Structure 1
Amino acid sequence: MKSTEKEVVAQTLAPHTFDSLREALLDLGIRKEDIVLVHSSLSKLGWVVGGAETVVQALKSVAGTIVMPAQSGANSEPSYWQDPPVPASWWPRIRATMPPFSRTSPVRAMGQVVEHFLMDPTVVRSAHPQVSFAAWGTHAETIVERHGLDFGLGADSPLQTLYAREAKVLLLGVDYGNCTCLHWSEAHLPSTPLVRQGASVLVDGKRVWKTFDEYDYDDSDFACLGMDYERQGGFVVKNELGRVVPMRDLCDFGVQWLRKHRTFENFSLDH
């Protein structure tokens, strides 16, 4: 058993099971008619019998449509890499040889629940090479079918469809700092800085390196944003498993909060 697993066991009074997870999700108000954008940390839930598989099965038992961020940040412009950075002399080779994005491209730092979710052949995935979304259930195909290369978390992304369809955001063992939909709020500010990104993709069956415009996203203040949302009367349902918030309400609040709390140096973008 890994040391991290030992720590989880030591901190867990009683293990979660499919039934206990299902009951907790129902207590959070998740129902079959819901579209649910899920963010999760398996280790923060406590010890779960069956691990990520049990979490995914419990989610499927209560929600009609499940969506998870499935970001593959390794397929990106190497000059921006910081964890770790690589020598500039490597950049051309990385751009020339990076495997192209596909349905099975590995996620990076997204957690075991997302990794297991993607193993299901009935789960579909949007086509963005860096910030894709995986979806299962009634509305899965509709949610992932539109995902433009430019501004991957903005108005031409699955987040826009989730916003329009009034999805619920489910935070399992994580806080607002992990809430991907708040990047939608960033994308709807006129002053969010731009970067020129790149990724390896397939075009007519051939691997090519494509460049595109992207926002310079920053989630460092999302936890504060979320706490202010709750303090100022935002709708939220909580229990020991996590919290559920309405995506549209949270994102609209996020736009106003970011306008108030962020400052940029004379930067404007008309997109």
Structure 2
Amino acid sequence: MSPVSGGTELTETQLTQQLTELGIGENGVLLVHASLRSLGKVEGGAATVLRALRRALGPDGTLVVPAFTSDNSSTSAAHMERVRGLSDEARAAFRERMPPFDPATSPSTGMGILAETARLHPQSLRSAHPQTSFAALGPHATKITDDHHPDCHLGEKSPLARLHELHAQILLLGVGFNRCTAFHLGEYRVDSPPQRSYRCVIRRDGRRQWWEYVDVALDDSDFATLGTEFERAASGTTAVRAGTVGSARCRVVGFVDAVDFAQEWFPGHRVVGR
């Protein structure tokens, strides 16, 4: 799969072929993390990439993207950075203006243009978690997005657990294992995972209000190292397939393989109570 060179733009047909050669399973379920910029020039941009992914998946395939939001949370890293250096008064005023989560209209933040394009597709369904929602297109979209509990970011009552049940694949398109959300499900599946409080603004009974809840303390700071060790352990198997799509270095990863490896890896590599 050689990248398109020079000023030539990638077409939908070329992308579909390259994605298929990379190992995306026809009529399967695919969780996508992508950097569109890494692909190079694409004729038609994000909409073309989305169509190519759906063509590679086939008519019975299901595409899933993260549609996370941080703009409505006072405990997210993005929010902490945004209010850094503000006075107490300015910080309070900023939080008063923060919008409540609305699954129909709230844009994802930091997920990339492909994820937003998928979320905005007229047939897309979105899970209801106010901070870590997912959007899905295809026959399994309802199963994946339904019943995402508001106090469970990425555990057993989230789309990640449904993706594990469905033996999904993960596409890391121009991004590394540091973006591999599936590893978080492994955090939930260790014995007695550390927990923390989260706070976000929601709309309930027509009213804007703050809501605080306790959930597993999510930590992706070691995902790059975890991914390197997972890929090394998976050498010679189909758990990780690497290749190129356009100009982007990519991996197709077995969801169950990634989660199960992470679950076994965390206890020996993280300090208790981290």
TM bracket (short chain)? 0.7 to 0.9
Structure 1 residues 201 and 12: alpha-carbon distance in aligned structure 2, compared to 1, 3 A threshold: farther
**Corresponding residue number in structure 2 for 1:259:** 267
**Corresponding residue number in structure 1 for 2:53:** 59
Deviation at 1:177, TM superposition (A): 0.6
Within 5 Å, give how 1:11-90 maps onto structure 2: 14-63=8-57, 64-77=61-74, 81-86=79-84, 87=86, 88-90=88-90
**Corresponding residue number in structure 2 for 1:163:** 164
After superposition, what is the alpha-carbon deviation per residue over 1:199-252, rounded to whole angstroms, capped at 9, x for unaligned? 222222222211111332221211111111111126212211211111011100
Q: 3-state SS of the aligned residue for 2:203?
A: strand
**Contact 2:71/2:99, CA 8 A, preserved across alignment:** no
**Corresponding residue number in structure 2 for 1:200:** 201
Deviation at 1:93, TM superposition (A): 4.3
AA paired with 1:89? E
Structure 1 residues 79 and 117: alpha-carbon distance in aligned structure 2, compared to 1, 3 A threshold: closer
CA distance in 1 between partners of 2:80 and 2:148 (Å): 26
Structure 1 residues 194 and 93: alpha-carbon distance in aligned structure 2, compared to 1, 3 A threshold: farther
CA distance in 2 between partners of 1:48 and 1:254 (Å): 34
Unaligned regions of 5+ residues in structure 1, if any?
Answer: 1-10
AA paired with 2:271? T
CA distance in 2 between partners of 1:188 and 1:111 (Å): 28
Tell whether 2:241 aligns with 1:240: no
Q: 3-state SS of the aligned residue for 1:202?
A: strand
**Contact 1:96/1:209, CA 8 A, preserved across alignment:** no
Q: 3-state SS of the aligned residue for 1:239?
A: strand
Deviates most, 151-160 or 212-221: 212-221
CA distance in 2 between partners of 1:12 and 1:149 (Å): 47
Q: 3-state SS of the aligned residue for 2:265?
A: helix
Q: 3-state SS of the aligned residue for 2:82?
A: coil
CA distance in 2 between partners of 1:98 and 1:132 (Å): 18
**Contact 1:79/1:91, CA 8 A, preserved across alignment:** no
Deviation at 1:19, TM superposition (A): 1.1
CA distance in 2 between partners of 1:255 and 1:111 (Å): 27
TM-score by length of 2: 0.86
AA paired with 1:29? G
Deviation at 1:69, TM superposition (A): 0.4
Deviates most, 85-94 or 198-207: 85-94
Q: Using the aligned pairs only, state the percent identity.
A: 39
AA paired with 2:259? C
After superposition, what is the alpha-carbon deviation per residue over 1:2-32, rounded to whole angstroms, capped at 9, x for unaligned? xxxxxxxxx8674322111100111122233
Which gives a bigger RCO, structure 1 or 2 (Cα 8 Å, sep 6+)?
Answer: 2
**Corresponding residue number in structure 1 for 2:217:** 216
Structure 1 residues 77 and 215: alpha-carbon distance in aligned structure 2, compared to 1, 3 A threshold: farther
**Contact 1:95/1:200, CA 8 A, preserved across alignment:** no
TM-score by length of 1: 0.87
After superposition, what is the alpha-carbon deviation per residue over 1:88-144, rounded to whole angstroms, capped at 9, x for unaligned? 434544554422211220111111111111221111110011100000011101110
Equivalences, count: 257
CA distance in 2 between partners of 1:92 and 1:150 (Å): 25
AA paired with 1:128? H
Within 5 Å, give how 1:168-187 maps onto structure 2: 168-187=169-188
CA distance in 2 between partners of 1:170 and 1:78 (Å): 29
**Corresponding residue number in structure 2 for 1:118:** 119
Let me know the Cα RMSD of the aligned residues. Answer: 2.2
CA distance in 2 between partners of 1:217 and 1:176 (Å): 15
**Contact 2:75/2:198, CA 8 A, preserved across alignment:** no
